[in-house]
Amino acid sequence: MKPPAEPRAVPRRRPPLLLLLLLLLTNLVPSFGKETLRTTAVNPQFEQNMDYVDFIHLNILEKKVLNNSEVSVQYLCSKPCIINLEAVASSEFRTGVPVYRRRWKDEKNLYVSRTRQVHLKFPSIMVYRDDYIIRNSIIVHSVILYAWISHKSVSSYDVEQNEDYQDAVAKNYTFLEAVPPFERPYKDHKVCLQWGADYLWMLQANRIPQCPHESDGVQILDFIYASSGEKTGIVKKFEQFENRELETVRQHQIDYPMFTVSIWLYLLHHCEKDLCGILYFIDPKEMYSTPAVFLSEEGCVHIQMHLMRGDDLAVKTSFSLPLKQWLRLDLSFKGGQIEVSSVGKNLKRHHHQSFNFREDFYYDDTAGYFVLGGSGYVNGIEAFFGPVKYYRLNVLETEQISNPLHDKETVEQIELYYERCMDIQEIVYEYRYIVSQGEKVQRNCYYENYYLEMIHKYGEKSKCDAFMWGKELREKYGTLFKLLQEMDFSAPDVLEDGGDTVLEVGRRIFEKVAKGLSSTDGLSNMGSSVPLLLDSSCCGYHKASYFLAVIFETGLGVSVDHTKGLLYSLIGAQGNERLAVMNLGYKHYQGINNYPLDLELSYAYYSNIAIKTSLDQHTIKGEQAFVETIRLMDDELLKAQTKENGDVFMWLKHEATRGNAAAQQRLAQMLFWGQQGVAKNPEAAIEWYAKGAIETEDPVLIYDYAIVLFKGQGVKKNTKLALELMKKAAAKGLPQAVNGLGWYYHNFKRDYRKAAKHWLIAEEMGNPDASYNLGVLYLDGIYPGVPGRNQTVAARYFYKAAQGGHIEGTLRCSLYYITGNMEDFPRDPEKAVIWAKHIAEKNGYLGHVIRKALNAYLELSWHEALLYYILAAETGIEVSQSNLAHICEERPDLARKYLATDCVWRYYNFSVSQVNAPSFAYLKMGDFYYYGYQNQSKDLELSMRMYAQAALEGDSQGFFNLALVMEEGNSIPSYILDHLEIDQALHSSNTSLLQELYYRCWNNSNQESISPCSLALLYFYMRVFWNNILQSTLIYFMGTFLLSILVAFAVQYFQSLPARNSPGTRSDSSADEPSSSENSNEDAARLVQQDESTFPNDLAQQESNPQNPPVTS
């Protein structure tokens, strides 16, 4: 064995000061969450073979929608779980809206039944009444509280909030009863008002209560109303006086009335048949009451009064009202006496007549409603209504009445327009007569001369070159004469009737102008097109009137002229042009472009088109198309548009030919209604309906074909075959077919018992047509087994049908809301307008204009697209407004060249004022207000309101933008936070509020992919974490630690200087340990460069093996 080596003396070195310092610090540093052997498990260990079932129960003492309602949630979890609570509300216009969410995790209490008390908090507009902050509380129909358990890990709690209710481990739900708005309490907001509102509040708080200043003089109408002679008019309802003295006088005058009515009129025609309504009162029993003023066929004023004994008497004036001049009709009533006066524009009396009755009239103007114009009971007059003044308690002479014509410029423009049109119509009629006489003379020669007959057939058409009109008239209407010479008046449909000829000339002029404006650079010729459009309008073709209204209103190729825009809107509406009527309804609904906000006037226009929409859908003639909501920013919908030679249509046709029922059904619908870019072709549609009904046995196709056979739409009526098909479809369980059988028994057999039986079955199957038909039975008093009419039950069925989208049911409900005569329908003019507007915007003629605009856009015909989108947008339909703004953004050069108004600002602004505005429009307007759009000033508060509204629509960008506004140091007003249902008590700090906004942003975005919201939320959490580190005691420790390192290096450096200066020491050191000093220097440098987080690991490694000496060579 080799003896052990002799121990060698190793030079002894001092341990480095740095290592000693690090060891000392390591022992002093506390352990941050370090797990040791003494750590005890938090969760108890259960036997895995035990069988437990998760459950969740809800216990609520008062099942009503109240704030801070206490809910007891009892549950059991067999695994670490997340408990979810969510309340979903439904109102008239939106369904399935989440209004409350709460979730918590439970990882400790497993296999143990737990109970947790939760206080529900709902949006303020659901649980409180309106006040100075809550402006519009909503009517909630139903609220459902869902509860469910999901087995999730701890990490997923912060990643996913919305767990699918259907896939939950355990789930439950309960219904909460909604509280009507007027039974709700007022909210204690506990917020300070702005200085101005606070000051006004203080001024009113200490004011001595006084009787309100009221007058019996009421302005029923203060703006011109275009009455087209239809069964629609302005509905006004009066309440009792708030002033006790006036109300006492009114009640005393019920059996001895004293009142005066003053009406400005511009009559175009006398009543065509029977009587036409001017102003009349309808009582709660839907009967005429005092007064009822009508216009007769002779132009006389017919006045009907309700007497105290219960019967009615009527009188008629001996004078007739003049046509096409402004007049004021004054009527005063006193006891049993009536005074009627006709006053001219110069306020000079033209006619006067008195009537005396032996018995006084009965008169209560609060028990019913007034109608100005037409209604469901009588047609209105064809006229323009001017201001209408009503004195409820006084009898005034003509000189005492204060009811002036305010808009004198428009009044004069109406007179000048009809004077000019009389000349144009006379020229057209006489020209047609001259040409027709020449045609008759020539036609007699054609039968004797074959050569002349061929010339007439293929040669140039007859025209009148020798004018009988004077030079002045020819120069004034030179364009019209030129057009007349270019027209062919030999067509038999033109020569028969002079009135039709004038209208036909107007149609031809319009089509020529419209074709020119739709061409490339056609809008550049607007100046020369306006006179032609005016001629077309004067010929009675009022599509031209609407074109003129839009041109002058928007400055399309001309200067903006609001007076002319109003003039031609009124002319077109009076001529029953649907788009012009909708334009006036929309402007009065919004109160824009100098049109007064008047909901009753808006309803009069919208209800007119809504009624026509119902009738138009039953006719297959005319330029109609299905109204489709297609946005130009939706690429998927744009790709789905097709034509008869398009790929989509050809593929459907191919599949339909092979017998595919779905393809046949879709193809027939596209052709019948003109959908998806396909031209309307009812005949071709019926062929596919017939083919599908016979070949495929599809119940929908069988039903559709039966309907067209019943009505004879595009095919000869065949009631027998239609009934067989309808029974066949009903046997297959189609609700529409069951309703159709009831319709057959009602209309063809008059068997109301069988009709009601089928309608009840279809109604239970969810068919809205059946609900409406049952309502009609109750309204007409022919429901089997129920004596008399029952309007209350009928109204309930109509409302149920309206909820299902039924057009006539919606119209009925809108009428109930405007009149307020039904017990279940309190008067609400705004709701009546919204419902009528919803139906009017489904009109097929409007759909045709929208389709032309979309087709032009797809074909890159920018001028035509701009023209027709403007026409549609001015009617108030939102999708056209946002599409037009998009075009103006896409082609700003086009908008600047042809539009005098700011297209983008105008139509995005119109869009966000709509009920169904898209979220991207709110974001656009928010950006405009934030950055300041062109000439518009910045408005940060309006910007935040727009972003908040986009957020409420479920757009994550709205929350993201609000968070960015806060990041820039701005604060969000409290009313906006309340609108967003953000609890300011829980989120009082900016950090908490930012976290909530970013979290909602992430929650409303696509959580399956990385989105800006998820990145923003992650970045926010990182900033919060870093800020917490900077503000904690750890930063002081790290600073001390780094300072100690610097001090250690400095001390070591200065200690090494004397050793390097000593020769002996330096030689020994260099001879014995050349690598040791190098290693120590490298270690020191490496330690300085290491991150703080790796430092304890290095120290731990050195501490774990302290016996190993340094390696030497």
Please determine, for residue 260, whether its predicted confidence score (pLDDT) is greater than 80.
yes
Cite the DSSP H helix spans in 658-717. Answer: 661-673, 682-695, 699-711
Helix (H) or strand (E) holding 316: strand 312-320
Q: Under a CB-based contact definition with an 8 Å cutoff, are residues 508 and 501 in contact?
A: no
Q: CA-CA distance, 97 to 65, in Å (whole number)?
A: 14
Flag whether pLDDT at 496 surpasses 50. Answer: no
- What percent of the chain has pLDDT above 90? 44
* Dist CA 689 CA 683 (whole Å): 10
Q: Given a cut of 80, is residue 468 above it in pLDDT?
A: no
CA distance linking residue 766 with residue 804, whole number of Å: 8
Q: What is the DSSP letter of 523?
A: G
Task: Identify residue 1020 by its one-letter amino acid code.
Answer: F
Q: What is the pLDDT of residue 499?
A: 52
pLDDT of residue 79: 87
The residue written with tokens 């890990």 in the block is: 153
Q: Is the pLDDT of residue 448 over 60?
A: no
pLDDT exceeds cutoff 60 at 1060: no
**Alpha helix locations (H) across 447-477?**
450-458, 471-476
User: Tens of pLDDT along 111-134?
Assistant: 889 999 999 888 888 888 877 777
Binning pLDDT at 50, 70 and 90, where does residue 438 land?
Answer: low
From edge to edge, which strands make up the β-sheet containing 55-60?
55-60, 69-76, 114-120
Residue 201: pLDDT band (50, 70, 90) is low
**Residue 7 pLDDT > 60:** no
Residue 1064 has pLDDT above 60, yes or no: no
State the pLDDT confidence band at 379, using cuts at 50, 70 and 90: very high
For range 25-37, the mean pLDDT:
37
Tokens standing for residue 271? 């009543």
Do residues 781 and 793 make contact, with C-beta atoms less than 8 angstroms apart? no
Helices 578-590 and 562-574, packing angle to 10 deg: 130
Predicted local distance difference test score (pLDDT) of residue 427: 82
Query: CA torsion, points 515, 517, 522, 528, in degrees to nearest 10?
Result: 110
Q: Containing H/E element for 719? A: helix 719-731
Residue 203: the pLDDT is 58
pLDDT at 278: 96
**Residue found by looking up tokens 């006496």 in the block:** 337
Return the percentage of the chain with pLDDT > 70, whole number: 81
Which helix (H) or strand (E) segment holds residue 86: the answer is: strand 81-91
- Tell me which residue of 411, 373, 218 sits closest to 282, measured CA to CA: 373
Read off the amino acid at residue 950. A
d(CA 944, CA 961): 8
What is the structure's pLDDT at 781? 92
| Of the candidate ranges 181-185, 454-458, 752-756, the one whose mean pLDDT is the lowest | 454-458
Identify the pLDDT of residue 457. Answer: 52
Average pLDDT taken over every residue of the chain: 81
Residue 619 contacts residue 714 (beta carbons within 8 Å): no
Span between the terminal Cα atoms of the chain, in Å = 26
**Which residue, among 417, 385, 415, has the nearest Cα to 403 in the 3D structure?**
385
Rounded distance between C-alpha atoms, residue 640 and residue 626, angstroms: 15
In sign, the C-alpha dihedral spanning 930, 931, 933, 937 is positive
What is the widest separation between alpha-carbon atoms in the chain? 155
Res 696: pLDDT? 77
Cα-Cα-Cα-Cα torsion 88, 91, 97, 99, nearest 10 degrees, comes to: -60
Q: Which of 179-193, 205-219, 561-575 has the weakest average pLDDT?
A: 205-219
For 214-225, the pLDDT digits (tens) are: 889 999 999 999
* Mean pLDDT (whole number) for 142-161: 73
Say which range, 300-314, 448-462, 679-693, 958-972, has the weakest mean pLDDT: 448-462
Q: What is the mean pLDDT of residues 986-1011?
A: 84
With DSSP H G I counted as helix, E B as strand and the rest as coil, what are the percentages for the chain, rounded to 5?
50, 15, 35
Cβ atoms of residues 282 and 368 within 8 Å: yes
Out of 136-150, 821-835, 1045-1059, least confident range: 1045-1059
Task: Kindly report which listed range (226-240, 336-350, 673-687) carries the lowest average pLDDT score.
Answer: 673-687
Whether the bond between 291 and the residue before it is cis, its omega within 30 degrees of 0, is yes
Q: How high is the pLDDT of residue 51?
A: 61
- The count of C-alpha atoms lying within 13 angstroms of the C-alpha of 592, restricted to the half-sphere facing its C-beta, is 19
